[in-house]
A and B are shown apart, each in its own frame.
Chain A
Amino acid sequence: MKRIVIFVVLILVGLAAWFGLKEYNRKNKDLAGEQAALTINAADLIAAFEKDSASANKTYVDKVVAVTGRVNNINTDGNPVIITLGEEGKMSTVQCSMDSTHASDYKSIAVGGNAKLKGMCTGAFSDPMFGTNVQLNRCVIQK
């Protein structure tokens, strides 16, 4: 009886350690396989934050959002690659920080073309000089 108890305890300790280690080392989820909770075009997403940032925060922040729009800029200076969606000549944009495991995916799109990017919305900042900029993290390009 005693041996069984020891055996069970050992298994439980082992399981807890395994789970703890796994949880500790857990990486951020690759969003490529995730279904977007919301799909919207860049101009509408910017407008939502401009109109009512509190309600836009509730709707979009911490959600997987797929955004379509014109590629304004691709910044490959260091990690992560930043892809900016927005209308030509407009200050307000959607800034997508690419998932580093999909770092070279930007090669499939070009400035001036259209793209659909999926990422975790982290919020937006508005400033009279910078416009409204909605930010997405861990982005992947959706084909």
Chain B
Amino acid sequence: MLKKNLIALIALISISTLSFSQDKYFTKTGKITFTSKAPLEDIEAKNKTAAAIIDTKTGAIQFSVLMKGFEFEKALMQEHFNENYVESDKYPKAEFKGTVTNNSTIDYKKDGTYPAIVKGQLTIHGVTKPVQAPGTIKVSNGTVEASSTFNIRLSDYNIAIPAVVKDKISNNVKVVVDIKMDPYKG
């Protein structure tokens, strides 16, 4: 009897861990771009090495990115960004942890593009703030692609813009997140 129960228990555990691992999708090449509108020209920076993971069962989603990995077209801007604005030596990472609030309306087993709302905590420059953003979750061929565009205010993250360039650099920054994830085999 005990043996039977034990076997059942082991079987149950192995089934649940199996389905658990199949529920997760991840990538290490997520794309994050941000743009800031400026009178002279738009400033744009790109990073394609964001790590991200989603648990389709719970809707928990998180991503992290190294600040030094953002590339600007102009070297001077990149240097100022790292040294003066986000202080990437002190705060090397930006991180988001949250959930897809309407996760139950997304069928991860059926190809399609689903509207999604993501809510969570965004940490930049050592400051954590709540964010909420609309986006989409695209399921196709066994991959899950999460995309969202939202705006953040630099002042919310204690990122100070020096007075000399105050009128040249906007406090509002548009962030575009595009992460295409494959099944996680842990």
- Measuring CB to CB, which residues of chain A are less than 8 angstroms from any residue of chain B? 23-29, 57, 61-62, 75, 77-80, 82, 84, 93, 95, 97, 122-125, 127, 129-130, 133, 135, 137-138
Task: Report B70 CB to chain A, min CB distance, Å.
Answer: 9
Interface string of B54-86 (1 = CB under 8 A from A): 000000000010101101111110100000000
Q: Is B125 an interface residue (CB 8 A)?
A: no
Residues in chain A near residue B162, CB distance under 8 A: none
Q: Is B31 an interface residue (CB 8 A)?
A: yes
Name A75's closest neighbour in chain B (CB-CB): B29
Per DSSP, are chain B's interface residues mostly helix, strand or loop, or mixed? strand
Inter-chain contact A138/B93, CB cutoff 8 Å: no
Residues in chain B near residue A138, CB distance under 8 A: 71
Most chain B CB within a 10 A radius of its CB, from A57, A79, A123, A127: A123
Known pairs A93-B28, A129-B53; A23 contacts B66 (CB<8 A) = no
Q: Within the complex, which residue of A78, A129, A135 is in contact with B26, where a contact is CB–CB below 8 Å?
A: A129
Q: Is B37 an interface residue (CB 8 A)?
A: no
Known pairs A125-B51, A127-B51; A97 contacts B69 (CB<8 A) = yes
Task: Report A129 CB to chain B, min CB distance, Å.
Answer: 6
Inter-chain contact B184/A95, CB cutoff 8 Å: no
Inter-chain contact A137/B74, CB cutoff 8 Å: no
Residues in chain B near residue A79, CB distance under 8 A: 46, 48
Task: Report B88 CB to chain A, min CB distance, Å.
Answer: 8
State the CA gap A82–B78 with chains docked (Å): 20
Task: Report A62 CB to chain B, min CB distance, Å.
Answer: 8
Known pairs A26-B75, A123-B92; A133 contacts B69 (CB<8 A) = no
Residues in chain B near residue A129, CB distance under 8 A: 26, 53, 184, 186
List 22 A–B pairs whose Cβ atoms lie within 8 Å, in order of A's numbering.
A27-B73, A28-B72, A28-B75, A62-B68, A75-B29, A77-B29, A77-B180, A78-B31, A80-B48, A95-B29, A95-B49, A97-B69, A122-B66, A122-B69, A125-B66, A127-B51, A127-B64, A129-B26, A129-B53, A130-B53, A133-B49, A133-B51
State the CA gap A25–B92 with chains docked (Å): 26
Task: Report B185 CB to chain A, min CB distance, Å.
Answer: 10
Inter-chain contact total with CB atoms closer than 8 Å? 73
- Measuring CB to CB, which residues of chain B are less than 8 angstroms from any residue of chain A? 26, 28-29, 31, 46, 48-49, 51, 53, 64, 66, 68-69, 71-76, 78, 92-93, 180, 184, 186
Residues in chain B near residue A84, CB distance under 8 A: 28
Inter-chain contact A130/B28, CB cutoff 8 Å: yes
Q: Within the complex, which residue of A25, A122, A133 is in contact with B74, where a contact is CB–CB below 8 Å?
A: A25
State the CA gap A97–B64 with chains docked (Å): 16
Q: Within the complex, which residue of B28, B64, B69, B93 is in contact with A137, where a contact is CB–CB below 8 Å?
A: B69
State the CA gap A124–B93 with chains docked (Å): 10
Known pairs A80-B48, A95-B28, A95-B49; A27 contacts B74 (CB<8 A) = yes
Task: Report B67 CB to chain A, min CB distance, Å.
Answer: 8
Residues in chain B near residue A29, CB distance under 8 A: 75
Most chain A CB within a 10 A radius of its CB, from B49, B76, B186: B49
